């Protein structure tokens, strides 16, 4: 290999046109997925205090947001529901008139080409805030599977294009795949939260989705952040059970797992830039410590460089608006 002064790596960085031409990775709008939090009521647009620019939206306002996203060129959104009432089983998750079911029908009627991903979990709907029924102080895994099956079927029937189980119950992908197939939803894919850590970065989300557990935590079923090999095993298990795509959550602390899954599996790979990551960047920018636009883009680029095909990010609309201004 030539040595300095023959080898001058700065030659290809000298101007922006040169840098753009030589750029190895690009974040494309088609790859971004916008989270949406749907709440009861009408005309509701309530900002989440810990997440600037993120709102709880009633169904009518969610339709408005879906239209706006589509006009900006965003292709997909993931829906989280905030039910009017909760119970121990989380029955609002699979109700025909549940908040996600209402939103999916309304959005699909208004913006039929927007890909709707349904977060398939019970924690937002249970009175105790856990991801399944509680027995003896613990989450009962197998009874939770039956409830997740009902939820997935209801979400698919309402028009959701993709089911994304996030509860980290053992066997959830197989259970949901079997249920969808039995109800003639063979065409509906499963995007599994295959690698989901019990992360401290989820705090602002629990405000947005009103899903904080009333006791204990979720470390009995979500991955220990110290474990790498176990995360690979979780992904292998979900692939064997029929997952169509995989997800890593959270994003920035888990770039090693994004790369590992990209190298090991051929399935499409998503990463979730979670609420805490988003809130940290905004907080630092508000204090003048970081430049919001550059840091937001750099964080997204990190996921792409690590191997992600899709990025769920609260910066999706921000990124789309920046792209529109530059075009």
Max Cα-Cα span within the chain:
71
Q: Which of 45, 86, 108, 249 is catalytic?
A: 249
Cβ pair 252, 305 in contact under 8 A: no
Can 249 be counted among the known catalytic residues? yes
The residue whose two tokens read 């025909």 is 96
Q: Which of 45, 86, 108, 196 is catalytic?
A: 196
Can 304 be counted among the known catalytic residues? no
The set of catalytic residues is: 196, 249
């Amino acid at each position: 290999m030539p040595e300095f002064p023959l080898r001058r790596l700065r030659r290809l960085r000298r101007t922006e046109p040169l840098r753009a031409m030589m750029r190895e990775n690009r974040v494309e709008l088609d790859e971004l997925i916008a989270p949406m939090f749907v709440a009861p009521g009408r005309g509701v647009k309530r900002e989440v205090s810990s997440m600037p620019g993120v709102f709880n939206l009633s169904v009518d306002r969610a339709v408005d947001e879906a239209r706006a996203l589509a006009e900006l060129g965003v292709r997909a959104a993931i829906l989280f529901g905030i039910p009017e009432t909760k119970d121990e089983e989380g029955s609002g998750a699979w109700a025909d008139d549940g908040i996600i079911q209402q939103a999916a029908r309304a959005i699909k009627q208004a913006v039929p080409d927007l890909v709707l991903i349904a977060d398939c979990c019970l924690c937002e709907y249970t009175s105790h805030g856990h991801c399944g029924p509680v027995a003896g102080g613990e989450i009962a895994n197998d009874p939770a599977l039956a409830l997740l099956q009902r939820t997935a079927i209801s979400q698919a029937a309402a028009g959701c294009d993709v089911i994304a189980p996030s509860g980290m119950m053992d066997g959830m992908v197989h259970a949901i795949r079997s249920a969808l197939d039995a109800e003639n939803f063979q065409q509906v894919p499963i995007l599994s939260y295959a690698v989901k850590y019990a992360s401290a970065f989820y705090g602002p989300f629990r405000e947005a989705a009103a899903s904080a557990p009333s006791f204990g935590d979720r470390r009995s079923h979500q991955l220990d952040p110290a474990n790498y090999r176990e995360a690979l095993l979780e992904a292998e298990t979900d692939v064997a059970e029929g997952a169509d795509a995989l997800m890593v959550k959270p994003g920035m602390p888990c770039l090693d797992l994004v790369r590992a899954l990209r190298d090991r599996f051929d399935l499409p790979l998503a990463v979730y830039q979670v609420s805490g990551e988003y809130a940290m960047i905004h907080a630092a920018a508000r204090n003048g410590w970081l430049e919001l636009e550059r840091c937001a883009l750099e964080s997204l680029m990190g996921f792409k460089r690590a191997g992600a095909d899709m990025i769920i990010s609260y910066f999706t609309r921000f990124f789309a608006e920046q792209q529109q201004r530059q075009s």
